[in-house]
Amino acid sequence: MADTTLTRWQDPDDGYPTPAYWDAVTTALTAAGIGLADATDEGDGYSYRLTDEDSARIGYPKVYIAWDVDERLEDGEFVGYGWCWIAYDSADAWKGSRVERFDLPYLADPEKVARAVADLITDGGGRG
C-alpha cells in the first residue's frame, strides 16, 4: 500500500524529493534574484552554490544552500539537517566552517526556500 502521507514533491517509491521539486526550487531561487553558480544532485540530497557576490553578502567567500538528510524513517519522517546553509572560510576549502539550519520543514514550498535564502543574503548571515 502506498504511503498516503507523501506530498506531490516526493517519489512514491522512496519518499525522497523528485527532480520536479529541485527544478521548482531552482526556479524559485532564480525568480527571487538569487545568484546560483551551480547545483548538484547528491542522490539523497541537493545543493546550490551561491555566486561569489551573494556569498560575500553573507560574509563568506563560498556558501552552499543544501537539502541534507541522513535517512527517511519508516514513519515517513526525515533525519538530518533538511534545508541548511553551509559557509566556507575560503573559496578553495573543501569542508564547511559553519552549518546552519533554515527554519523550514523538510519539504518546504520552493517559494519559502527562496524567501529564506533571500532573507539570509539580506541579513548577511549574522556574521559580524
pLDDT in tens, 53-106: 999 999 999 999 999 887 777 777 777 788 999 999 887 877 778 989 999 998
Position 106: which residue type?
Y
**How far apart, in Å, do the first and last CA atoms of the chain sit?**
52
- Please tell me the number of Cα atoms within 13 Å of 27 on its side-chain side: 8
Q: What is the pTM of this model?
A: 0.88
Residues 22-59 have pLDDT tens digits of 999 999 999 999 999 999 998 778 999 999 999 999 99
| pLDDT reported for residue 127 | 59
**Beta pairing class for 98-101 and 71-72:** unpaired
